[in-house]
């Protein structure tokens, strides 16, 4: 039996379609029929608007993210009209979809559909809470190990004790997490002794959702502001005890791309008290410095002032800032795309 901390919001693809299209019908009174498609798209939808049928091509995602845009924009060039159906679509990405004349429907009931001289646009709906118990791979503990596997896909074949040592996860949990990944369809058995991770992009998406909803909130140590406001301009000069402490979010995005001027400062560390003193931080719930517990210990990143690219990407994807979203895409394209496509 799972504890409350091991519950996670999750919908499968069919639930997303049924919920999103059901909410659409509730709000508009217009019927919509969905049928799966074979090939490069997930399906087609017939919208019955004022007794007129409109055929729309569609893609379904749990959370529609920056790294999905390239493929969808390409599909929409030859398949019009096109719509994204998702549980969650961030506001900055909705804007990009509208700019490319791509429609969307989310499970909260937000809609954008422009076709045949008609425009349906509903915004501002909040998601309805829907909690479903999920498996051990996507609990707070499981997500730490999945993160390690995403950094090194071959590590799935390490002995359990080595996985436990590398991830900081208790030895007794390793088997449950691997079984959870098998149940979710992310691991296949090649032979008696060899496992392989499959559906890598889907696993990445699932981890990103779990990181945002489950793991990252549990890692939050405190929110602060700088006593000396000049530190906002001179943040790169702040003493950073690497590798114990590393930048995430906007500072890391700037360090990796030279594209951002950080306004919000995310840092991962086991030394919160030390940072408070050295950086002269003042507790402030509305502050722009957020301190999180660092949960990885990987010598590949020891020489870096910033967190692993996957962490930085996840941090930037949480924001509604279009420039942060653009930076996230740059990081994905440079550091992650080749591994997960």
Domain final position from 89, 122, 155: 122
Residues 114 and 179 placed together within one structural domain of the fold = no
Residues 229 and 159 placed together within one structural domain of the fold = no
Q: Rounded distance, CA 275 to CA 227, Å?
A: 12
Domain final position from 82, 101, 122: 122
Residues 230 and 327 placed together within one structural domain of the fold = yes
Mention every residue, 6+ apart, whose C-beta is less than 8 A from residue 43: 17, 34, 35, 36, 37, 57, 58, 60
Phi first, then psi, for residue 236 (nearest 5°) are: -70, -15
Mention every residue, 6+ apart, whose C-beta is less than 8 A from residue 177: 136, 137, 141, 142, 145, 146, 169
Residues 231 and 172 placed together within one structural domain of the fold = no
Q: What is the pLDDT along the chain (341 residues), one digit of tens a residue?
A: 333 333 333 467 888 999 999 999 999 999 999 999 877 889 999 999 888 899 999 999 989 999 999 999 999 999 999 999 999 999 999 999 999 999 999 999 999 999 878 899 999 888 766 554 457 899 999 999 999 999 999 999 999 999 999 999 999 999 999 999 999 899 999 998 899 999 999 999 999 999 999 999 999 999 999 999 888 889 999 999 988 999 999 999 999 999 999 999 999 999 999 999 999 999 999 999 999 999 998 777 777 899 999 999 999 999 889 999 999 999 999 999 998 87
Of 130, 210, 212, give the one whose Cα is nearest residue 177.
210
**Residues linked to residue 92 through DSSP beta bridges, in sequence order:** none
**Residues linked to residue 266 through DSSP beta bridges, in sequence order:** 248, 290
Phi first, then psi, for residue 173 (nearest 5°) are: -90, -20
Structure-block tokens of residue 237: 């000069």
Q: Rounded distance, CA 177 to CA 143, Å?
A: 9
Which CATH number fits the domain that encloses residue 26? 3.40.1350
């Amino acid at each position: 039996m799972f504890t409350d901390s091991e519950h996670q919001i999750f919908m499968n693809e069919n639930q997303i379609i049924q919920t999103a299209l059901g909410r659409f019908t509730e709000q508009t009174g217009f019927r919509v029929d969905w049928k799966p498609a074979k090939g490069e798209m997930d399906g087609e939808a017939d919208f019955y608007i004022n007794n007129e049928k409109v055929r729309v091509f569609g893609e379904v995602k749990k959370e529609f993210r920056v790294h999905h845009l390239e493929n969808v924009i390409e599909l929409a060039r030859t398949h019009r009209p096109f719509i994204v159906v998702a549980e969650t679509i961030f506001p900055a990405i909705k804007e990009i979809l509208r700019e490319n004349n791509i429609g969307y429907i989310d499970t909260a009931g937000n809609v954008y559909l422009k076709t045949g001289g008609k425009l349906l646009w509903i915004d501002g709906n909040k998601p309805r809470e829907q909690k479903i118990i999920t498996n051990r791979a996507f609990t707070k503990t499981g997500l730490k190990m999945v993160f390690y596997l995403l950094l090194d896909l071959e590590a799935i074949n390490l002995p359990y004790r080595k996985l436990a040592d590398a991830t900081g996860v208790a030895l007794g949990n390793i088997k449950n997490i691997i079984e959870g990944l098998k149940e979710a369809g992310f691991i296949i058995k090649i032979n008696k002794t060899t496992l392989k991770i499959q559906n890598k992009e889907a696993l990445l998406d699932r981890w990103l959702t779990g990181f945002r909803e489950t793991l990252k909130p549990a890692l939050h140590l405190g929110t602060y502001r700088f006593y000396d406001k000049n530190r906002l301009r001179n943040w790169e000069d702040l003493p950073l005890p690497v590798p114990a402490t590393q930048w995430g979010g906007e500072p890391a995005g700037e360090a990796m791309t030279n594209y951002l001027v950080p306004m919000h400062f995310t840092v991962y560390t086991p030394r919160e008290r030390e940072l408070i003193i050295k950086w002269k931080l003042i507790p402030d719930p509305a502050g722009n410095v957020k301190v999180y517990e660092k949960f990885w210990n990987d010598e590949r990143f020891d020489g870096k002032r910033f967190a692993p690219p996957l962490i930085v990407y996840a941090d930037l994807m949480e924001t509604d800032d279009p420039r942060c979203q653009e930076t996230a895409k740059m990081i994905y394209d440079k550091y992650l795309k080749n591994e997960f496509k």
